[in-house]
Chain A
Amino acid sequence: MGMTMTQKILAAHAGLPEVRAGQLIEANLDLVLGNDITSPVAIHEMEKMKVDGVFDKNKIALVPDHFVPNKDIKSAEHCKCVRQFAKKNEITNYFEVGEMGIEHALLPEKGLVVAGDVVIGADSHTCTYGALGAFSTGVGSTDMAAGMATGKAWFKVPSAIQFVLTGKPSKWVSGKDIILHIIGMIGVDGALYRSMEFTGDGIANLSMDDRFTIANMAIEAGGKNGIFPVDKLAEDYIKEHSNKIYTIYEADKDAEYDQVISIDLSTLKPTIAFPHLPENTHTIDEVGEILVDQVVIGSCTNGRIDDLRVAAKVLQGRKVCKGIRTIIIPATQSIYLQAMEEGLIRTFIEAGAVVSTPTCGPCLGGYMGILAAGEKCVSTTNRNFVGRMGDVTSEIYLASPAVAAASAVTGKISSPAELEE
């Protein structure tokens, strides 16, 4: 019996010829990641361990991005703790304000993750790097501490669900709509403890940014990781961004899957997740009239250049509806610069949107767009839990950048196709 793509990567990193679902293994780590919320807890735990320092100063990435630039004194203290730790341990990949970006957009861009890697990060959206053919998964701060100290982590080898994607998505359907469709179908625990392995010739029709978005939200279905095969597009991306040696793993032909789900991408419509779970999905034609107060376009899910381009395409020559706060957040400095050079930032500002420096801020109700009681927000972020972006009575509707931008123009949840009519 063969192995899945994830199992092959894990076997190689555990020094084993093969692994089976359910087996407990210890794997060598290629990268350990933390942010300004999770790293201080990890640093504190590591200080309690009887170790001299980190296992490899080049294989740790510290990215203050959640409450950065510092939103208050307590956050400033957390960032100071991370900064001092990075300095003391000579961490190569510490990203200060000015260089930083949202971690899961930043790491692939900086070439720190390549195909075949095993990565743990003290942030649940660490699963994003599956788009590059890496095994990456979110852990807590104590696991991060042990990872920084030893360069190893224990895993229970996951079984997998195979998603066979075929066909070409229609004009306003993006990676976000695909992953929301999948979560709506299998539920927020539909892939609990398991890998989500994406296959099929439909993948050729997805940009790297679409794939990052899809892998990013594997955790929203409970998945341990989401992973894509490495095709020419992925290889070109890796070569463009990294000098690291990469390894392409492929699932065995006779790999065993718990479940196989086929999806014809050409049949999908723009999809929106209603409050208060990502699985509460509705297609755009079922939405009805929902007036909104705020629109957020950004985050580790949808703050990449493709996302900003499609938002600008919708907002070009149009105005944001009066009274709607539209907040656009490029995920990294380089995406910000690219958006400036392409004239996207001008389009946003002329349309009446505000553009911010990279931060996770509003996605988790940190700052930069907190909701008051009863307010509704269309957001390209990843979670719409109770109180996630502000008051417990506020509501979050998760959508693609195209739908978010169209909703900013009309003031209610809308399809970009409506604006073309």
Chain B
Amino acid sequence: MKASGSVFKYGDNVDTDVIIPARYLNSSDPAELAKHCMEDIDKEFIHKVKSGDIIVANKNFGCGSSREHAPIAIKAAGVSCVIAETFARIFYRNSINIGLPIIECPKASQEIEAGDQVEIDFDTGMIYNKTKGTSYQGQAFPEFMQKLIEAGGLVNYINEGK
């Protein structure tokens, strides 16, 4: 499984309130949520993002609320993977559960810049920065998490197992 796209870069502690502000949580429709994804931190994001693009951020990405609407909005906006130094724990869990690939890799987070073309191989955890010609070893997913993401989330994964 691979992902490839152009990078949107953010800093530390990107919280779930800026990923999807609570004023839009009266909806749980992924397409509706995607329209407001990252609105309070980057108004241009949703107009520029293309299917397959990648978010790279620094530490504690997704801190704050438990709203699953946050990874749902990111996935529905077309983002193929989020790379960060660290993730807040509920966001990490939610992303896996809904099938949004995420990778912890401090060095990649520090060095990759906005607009870089990046490719990720989920089987090996390798991150390739095609713009800069650099590569990084991120954390590879354990097999069950890969299957879960490929199935499109926990629910499908559970159902497939039955």
Contacts and interface: CB of A to CB of B under 8 A. Distances in A.
A339 interface: no
Nearest to A365: B22
A419 interface: no
B40 interface: yes
Interface string A244-286: 0000000000000000000000000000000001000000000
Q: Which of A146, A386, A387 has most B Cβ within 10 Å?
A: A387
A365 B23 contact: yes
A123 B66 contact: yes
A41 B64 contact: no
Interface stretch (A167-175, A187-195, A324-332, A397-405): A187-195
Contacts of B158: 49, 146
Contact of A49 (B15, B25, B155): B155
Contact of B28 (A72, A78, A122, A383): A78
Contacts of A146: 154-155, 158
Q: For A72, A145, A222, A386, which residue has the most chain B Cβ atoms within 10 angstroms?
A: A222
Interface string A15-39: 0000000000000000000000110
A66 to B, nearest CB: 8
B101 to A, nearest CB: 16
A386 B21 CA distance: 10
Interface in A17-76: 37-38, 40-41, 44-45, 48-50, 66-67, 71-72, 74-75
A143 B97 contact: yes
A192 B155 contact: no
Contact residues on A (Cβ < 8 Å of other chain), bracket? 35 or more
A142 interface: yes
Interface stretch (A133-141, A197-205, A373-381): A133-141
A48 B159 contact: yes
A44 B28 contact: yes
Nearest to B99: A142
A218 to B, nearest CB: 11
A207 B161 CA distance: 48
B63 to A, nearest CB: 6
Contacts of A7: none
B27 A74 contact: yes
Interface in A364-421: 364-366, 383, 385-388, 392
Contact of B66 (A122, A145, A224, A366): A122
Contacts of A188: 13, 60, 63
Interface of A: 37-38, 40-41, 44-45, 48-50, 66-67, 71-72, 74-75, 78, 121-124, 126, 138-143, 145-146, 188-189, 192-193, 219, 222, 224, 277, 364-366, 383, 385-388, 392
18 contacts: A38-B66, A38-B67, A40-B28, A41-B72, A49-B158, A50-B162, A122-B66, A124-B64, A124-B65, A126-B66, A138-B90, A139-B66, A140-B97, A189-B13, A192-B89, A366-B25, A383-B17, A385-B64
Name the 7 nearest CB pairs between A and B, nearest first: A140-B94, A74-B26, A140-B68, A142-B97, A189-B60, A364-B22, A124-B66
